[in-house]
Amino acid sequence: MTTYELSYPELGLDLHEVYVQMGYGDAAPDADVVAETKAVEAGIAGILRPRYTFFIAEGTLDDTACTLNIGHTELNVGRIIARQLRGSEAFAFFVATAGAEFEDYQMRLKDDDDMVRTFIADSFGSVIAELTADVMERTLQDDISGRSWRHTNRFSPGYCGWNVSEQQKLFPLFGGGAPCGVRLTESSLMLPIKSVSGVVGLGPNVRKLDYSCGLCDFKDCYKRRRKEAVKG
């Protein structure tokens, strides 16, 4: 299982996504906010080291019981995700993170009591983690293309009815330790906080769909905000 490390330019981050994450939607931030955002961007660009890893495993999906069994581990993924994973011949499990370097930078802002830049950095972190997972998906597709396979959307504990406590079952599948330097607290919070984990379905008869927010009522979902940004 390989750990991949990225640089800031490799993410292709668009500041518009950061502004959407900050709550601006279609509205344009004022000049002061733009200046502060660019200052945060300059602060992280040189130190950022996002990372991701994934592995592929066979498993058994029971879309009636809404479970996914990998070896001796039963994941209760819920009705929505079980339905989206139908037809998968294998599954990719992944972790992606903005990295400890980013979290250290954000903590320095907090220690300096710079609440404006701390808030902006928090928005950057959410976007960076998801963009890192996007790169993971592209690497995964390259890896499976030789089998004429495709992949589904990625799904994470805490979303679409998959309880966040299932992280405690998911992380041991990576062989112990801390994949990409990410570890779990007893309450299933990932550290660094700006991290993403989950599962992707694989096979010749699956496909990635546009995220349909009608399936889920979680209002603070990054993908919901991202979809709204694309509409804008």
What pLDDT shows up at residue 217?
Answer: 56
Domains, the chain, ordered by start: 3-231 (3.40.109.40)
Q: 56 has which bridge partners?
A: 92
Separation between Cα atoms, residue 61 and residue 155, nearest integer Å: 14
List of the chain residues with pLDDT < 50: 230
**Dihedral, 115, 120, 126, 130 alpha carbons, nearest 10:** -160
What pLDDT shows up at residue 34?
Answer: 97
| Chain segment 23-61, per-residue pLDDT in tens | 999 899 999 999 999 999 999 999 999 999 999 999 999
Is pTM, for the whole model, over 0.85?
yes
What pLDDT shows up at residue 176?
Answer: 78
